[in-house]
Structure 1
Amino acid sequence: LNEQRRIVAKLDRLFARSRCAREELGRVSGLVQRYKQAVLAAAFHGDLTADWRAENIASTWATIPLSEACLSITDGDHQAPPKVEKGIPFITISAINDGKLNLSKATRFVSKSYFESRSPQRKPAKGDILFSVTGSIGIPVLVDTCELFTFQRHIGILKVNKNLTLEKYLLYILGSEQIKRQGLDVATGTAQLTIPLGGLRNFQIPLPTLEEQKEIVKRVEKLFKVIDIIEQEHQKASKLLDRLEKATLSKAFRGELVPQDPNDEPAAVLLERIQAERQTQPKRKAKSTRKPKAN
C-alpha cells in the first residue's frame, strides 16, 4: 500500500507537468496563424520590403479594385449539375477549406459535355485563384493542376491579369486580415454569410511593381517555411507527449517508476493477510435462484 501511494503521488506530479506542456502546445497553432498574419500585414503595408525599395528604384504603390488585377471574377454553378457515375469532378468548399485544392474530396461528377458548356470564365485553369464566397468565406486557393474540374456557386474564380499581378502575390493578399475585414464588411446574410460578386470585385488591394511583388512573394514564402517547421515540430511534440504518458504508466506498473522500500510490507505478506481476513469473515448465504412453485 505504501508503494501504491508513492506511485500515485509520482504519477500525479508527472501528469501535472504533462498537462502544462499540453496546454502550452495547444497555444502553438493559434500563434502560428498570428505569425503568418503578421508577416502578411508587414508585406502588404510595405514594411517587409522597405529595405529592398531603398536599394532599388521602384515606383510608389497604388491601391486598385480587385477587378482591375483580374481579367474576370465570377462564381460557380448556381444550379445542381446533372450527375454521372464517372467524369469531371464537381467540388464544394470542402475541397479548398484547408487552403489547398483537393480534388479527391469531390463527391459528385459531371459529364465532359456539361463541362464544355460552361463559359470560359467558369472553367478553372492552372494559375487561377479560387475564393470561398459563402459560408466559410475568405479562403483563397491557387489552382495548381491542369486537371479538369468544376465547382459550385459558393466558390468564386479569379482569372489573374498577369501583366499587373503575380498569381502568388494575389493569393497571399487574399489570405490577409485586411481582405477578410473587407469581406465581412460587404457580406450579406446572417445564418450563412455571402460575399456578393460586386463586393468581391471592389475589394481594394495594394499594388507595387511586378519586381517588388516577386520580392514580397520570395520573403513571405521564406518566413512561412520557418513558421511551418515550427508547426511540424509542434505536431511531433504532441505525439511524443502521448507516447510519454503511456510509457510512464507502463513503467509505473512494472515497478520501475519509484524506488522500493525494504521496510514496506511485502506483497506476498499482504496477500496472505487479505486471505486470512476473508476466512475470518462470516460467509453470506447465497441467494436462491429457484423460482417458487406456482399454486
Structure 2
Amino acid sequence: MSSTFKKWTTTPLENLLISLESGSRPRGGVRGIPNGIPSIGGEHLTYKGTFDFTSIKYVPKEFANNMNKGRIQKDDILIVKDGATTGKTAFVDEYFPFKDAVVNEHVFICRPSKFIEPKFLFRFLTSKEGQERILENFQGSAQGGINLSFAPNTEVPFPPFNEQRRIVAKLEKLLHKVDACKERLEKIPLILKRFRQSVLAAACSGRLTADWREKNPIIEPAIKLLASITERRRTAYETALRASSREGNRKPRKIFPDEPPSVESADVDLPETWTVTNVDFLAHVTKLAGFEYTKHITLLDQGDVPVVRAQNVQMGRFVPENLKYIMKDVSNFLDRSQLHGREILMVFIGAGTGNVCMAPKKGRWHLAPNVAKIDVDGANSHYLLLYLQSPIGFFYTTSWIKATAQPSLSMKTIRKIVVHLPPLEEQQEIVRRLKELFEKADEIEERYKKAKAFVDRLTQSILAKTFRGELVPQDPNDEPASVLLERIREEQSKIKTDIKIKTKRRVKK
C-alpha cells in the first residue's frame, strides 16, 4: 500500500465474509406457485444496487424452511453468479420489503463480518474496480459465470473500521445528491416530449399563430387555396389530355380528385380562415407494390441505391442506420417508388405504423416495403409533416389502423387522413415558428445529454476516489485494518467450530 493508505490493507473478499452461499428452487422450478416465500433471482437485482420486484416468484414455505443455505438477512450483499448479468450486485438494507426471503441458485449471498461496515464492502463491489475484479473470475461462454472461487480471488482494499464508517457516511450523502440529480434529469426527456406535443397541438389548432392572424387580416382563406389548386390541376390535366390526343398516346391518368372532398372531422374550433381537407387532396400517395418487391427487389448489404425501410423512419426524423441497397438499374425500372427528397415518408405496417419524416435530400434513395411516400402538391410539405406528428394528426392517422396482431394502414386509409389546413402564408409561418421552438428544445436536449453523461460518470468517479483513500481524511488514532482482519479471522474460526459442533449433534440424534 502507498503512504496514503498507512493503515489500510488489501485482502481477499473471503476474508471479510462469515458466509458465502447460494440458494435453490424446487424440482420443476417456481412457475405457477402463486404465493409462499419470495425467491430472489438475478432479474430482481438492478444495476443501481437496489431491487425490482415487478415480477416476484415464490418457493413453498415448506421448501424454504428446509433450505440450509440461501436465506436472506439484513446487510447481506447479493451478487448474480451466472449469465449475461454476472456480477450485478445489490444490498439488503432496512427497506427490503420481505421479512422472509431466499435466493435461487443463480445468486450468491455475501454475508459480511460484524467487524466491517457492510455498505463499505457493497460500494466497493459495485465500483468499476470491484466489478472488474469480480468478472476476472468469469468462466465459460456467454452463459458462464463465477463460482465460489471468486471470493478468494477478488482483492478488496480494506481501511480501519472507523474510517469505513466515515467513508460510508460521506458516500451516502454524496450519492444521495447524485441520485437526486439523476431523478431530476430523468424528467427532462418527458418534459421536452410534452413541450413538443403541446406546441404542435397549438400550431395545428391555430392557437400558435393567433397573433399573426391579427396582424395579417387580409389573407386568402384556405378554402380559396383549395379552389386554386383544383383549377390549376384541371388546367394542367386538360393540357396533358390535348397533348396525348395530338400525339396519339394513351389518355393520362388522374392522380388527384377532381374536387375538394367533403370531410368529417373531430369537433375542433378552427380559425375562420382555415378549412378541413384530407391527404388525398393534398398529395399523391404511393408505395413499392408487393409484386414489384417480390419480382424485382433483392436487398443487398452493398449496392448503388440505399433503400428506406420502416426502421429508418422515426417520428419526425430520418435515421440512416443499418442500410440496405438495390442496384441502379432496378431503381431506374421502378421509377414510381424512387425518392426525390421532397416527399413525406410514412410507415404503414408494423410497430412504427404512423411514424413520419421527410425523405433524405442528399443522394439517391428508393422505397422499400412498409413505407409509403406522400408527395405533396399545393400545400407546404413541412406543415403537413408537422401536422401528422401532432396529437390531432396522429389521432386521425391511428383511427384508420386495422385492429390486427400487426398494426397496418393501406394507401386508401392514408389518403383519408383528415387535415386541418390554414392559408398557405400561415402554413409557412407555422413552420417557421415551430422550427425556432424545436431548435430551442433540441438545444436543451443536447445540454441534457451532456449533463446526463457527466452525472452517469459521477458515481463511479466518487467511488474511484473513495477506494484510492481520498474521500475522507485518515485518522492516526484509528486501529490499523490488519488488527481488524485478525478479529474477523477469529470470528470466522469460531463460526466454523460452532458449525462442526452442531453437525455432530445432528448426527448423534
Q: Residue 282 of structure 2 aligns with which residue?
A: 69
Q: Residue 106 of structure 1 aligns with which residue?
A: 323
Which of these two proteins has the greater Rg computed from alpha carbons? 2
1:200 CA drift (Å): 1.0
Q: Give the SS at the match of 2:374.
A: strand
Q: Which amino acid aligns with 1:228?
A: D
In structure 2, relative to structure 1, the CA distance for the partners of 1:250 and 1:55 (3 Å cut) is: same
Aligned residues: 275
CA contact 2:388–2:397 (8 Å) conserved in 1:
no
CA distance in structure 1 between the aligned counterparts of 2:349 and 2:403, rounded to whole angstroms:
10
Counterpart selection for 2:353 from 137, 146, 171: 137
Q: Give the SS at the match of 2:384.
A: helix
1:24 aligns with 2:184: yes
In the TM superposition, 1:158-237 aligns within 5 A as: 158-161=374-377, 164-237=378-451
1:75 CA drift (Å): 1.8
1:86 aligns with 2:246: no
CA contact 1:76–1:157 (8 Å) conserved in 2:
no
CA contact 1:99–1:140 (8 Å) conserved in 2:
yes
Q: Residue 36 of structure 1 aligns with which residue?
A: 196
Higher relative contact order (CA 8 A, sep 6+): 1
Q: Residue 31 of structure 2 aligns with which residue?
A: none
Q: Residue 152 of structure 1 aligns with which residue?
A: 368
1:83 CA drift (Å): 4.4
Q: Residue 101 of structure 2 aligns with which residue?
A: none
Q: Which amino acid aligns with 2:469?
A: G
1:269 CA drift (Å): 5.7
- The 10-residue stretch of structure 1 (83-92 or 221-230) with the greater mean CA deviation from structure 2: 83-92
Q: Which amino acid aligns with 1:14?
A: L
1:253 aligns with 2:470: no
Q: What is the Cα-based RMSD across aligned positions, in Å?
A: 2.5
Q: Give the SS at the match of 1:131.
A: strand
CA contact 2:346–2:357 (8 Å) conserved in 1:
yes
Q: Give the SS at the match of 2:314.
A: coil
CA distance in structure 1 between the aligned counterparts of 2:349 and 2:438, rounded to whole angstroms:
27
In structure 2, relative to structure 1, the CA distance for the partners of 1:264 and 1:93 (3 Å cut) is: same
CA distance in structure 2 between the aligned counterparts of 1:213 and 1:152, rounded to whole angstroms:
30
- Going by fraction, where is helix more abundant, 1 or 2? 1
1:93 CA drift (Å): 1.0
Q: Give the SS at the match of 1:205.
A: strand
CA distance in structure 1 between the aligned counterparts of 2:490 and 2:420, rounded to whole angstroms:
84
Q: Give the SS at the match of 2:406.
A: coil
Q: Residue 287 of structure 1 aligns with which residue?
A: none
In structure 2, relative to structure 1, the CA distance for the partners of 1:67 and 1:246 (3 Å cut) is: same
- The 10-residue stretch of structure 1 (34-43 or 86-95) with the greater mean CA deviation from structure 2: 86-95
Q: Which amino acid aligns with 2:344?
A: I
- TM-score, length-scaled by structure 2: 0.50
1:97 CA drift (Å): 2.4
Q: Which amino acid aligns with 1:139?
A: N
1:144 CA drift (Å): 3.5
CA distance in structure 1 between the aligned counterparts of 2:172 and 2:403, rounded to whole angstroms:
50
